[in-house]
């Protein structure tokens, strides 16, 4: 299994409810994606017309860039 497949498998385990609630049961995620939304929805859903801020191919990518982009643009590498 390559790194991308491992990351996807780990994301699927964390997202999907099983014996214990996963992130798919989280109230905030339910508002954005719908209660119990499958991981594939996050990976495939296109951004809405008013969510096209940075030209990303999926809604998840657009939201991620909007949330994390400013922080990453202003990060500093600090030697310890």
Per-residue pLDDT tens digits for 18-43: 999 999 999 999 998 899 999 998 88
- What pLDDT is attached to residue 5? 86
Alpha-carbon distances of 33 from 6, 58, 62, rounded to whole Å? 23, 13, 14
Per-residue pLDDT tens digits for 61-75: 899 999 999 998 888
- What pLDDT is attached to residue 10? 92
Contacts of 14 (CB under 8 A, 6+ apart): 22, 23
pTM of the predicted model as reported, rounded to 2 decimal places: 0.66
- What pLDDT is attached to residue 27? 95
């Amino acid at each position: 299994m390559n790194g991308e497949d491992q990351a996807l498998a780990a994301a699927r385990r964390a997202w999907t409810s099983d014996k214990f609630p996963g992130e798919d049961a989280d109230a905030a995620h339910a508002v954005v994606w719908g209660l119990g939304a499958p991981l594939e929805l996050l990976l495939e859903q296109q951004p809405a017309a008013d969510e096209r801020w940075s030209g990303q191919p999926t809604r998840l990518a657009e939201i991620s860039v909007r949330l994390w982009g400013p922080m990453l643009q202003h990060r500093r590498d600090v030697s310890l």
